[in-house]
Amino acid sequence: MYVIPVCTNCGDRTCSANGHDCCHESCLGGCSRANSSEDCTVCKGVLFQKKCIKSCPVNTYRYLNRRCILEQECLDMPVPREQVNDYRDKPWKAFNNTCILDCPHGYMEMKSFDGRRYQCEPCKVKWKDYLVKFEKRYQRNS
């Protein structure tokens, strides 16, 4: 079991394995070298190019809420092992600065124009409007 050293001189920051030196502010749970965003045990924010940072830079995508990747890296991610029944070859989509498997509410998955990847497109019919129309039709037939 890993024990996080407690340092009294680091304020709200964690401290390095020696128990004396303060870790970089981007570190969570300790570090192997003091004041370095490259040597964190775990990042508070995300990992990008081997450094812990607060949020993903422009033109990168947050992947699994842990690291930042480029769009092509996102699109090339394979199907996760847990999704054994997933028929899609490369199901990941770059959407709103995040690399996601499933489109959010109000969006539906569509193949791109070239047919080589998937993307999230806004739903053309609003579900709420559909339900209202369905309820009115049901009330007329009752």
If asked whether residues 72 and 110 sit together in one domain, one would say yes
- Mean pLDDT of all residues belonging to the chain: 84
Whole-number pLDDT of residue 88: 72
Do 22 and 2 fall within a single domain?
A: yes
- Count structural domains, the chain: 2
| 18 and 66 fall within a common domain | no
Q: What is the pLDDT of residue 58?
A: 95
Is residue 37 located within the same domain as residue 61? no
Total length of the chain? 142
Higher pLDDT, 84 or 138: 84
61 and 39 in a common domain:
no
Same domain membership, residue 43 and residue 88: no
pLDDT of amino acid 120: 93
pTM of the predicted structure, to 2 decimals: 0.72
Same domain for 90 and 73, yes or no, is yes
Give the pLDDT confidence of 32-42 residue by residue, as tens digits: 888 899 999 99
Q: What is the pLDDT of residues 92-127, one digit of tens each?
A: 999 999 999 999 999 999 988 887 788 999 987 655
Q: How far apart are CA 83 and CA 102, in angstroms?
A: 12
* The predicted structure's pLDDT at residue 114: 81
Are residue 62 and residue 101 in the same domain, yes or no? yes
Same domain? For 45 and 68 the reply is no
Same domain, 69 and 139: yes
Residues 93 and 49 in one domain: no
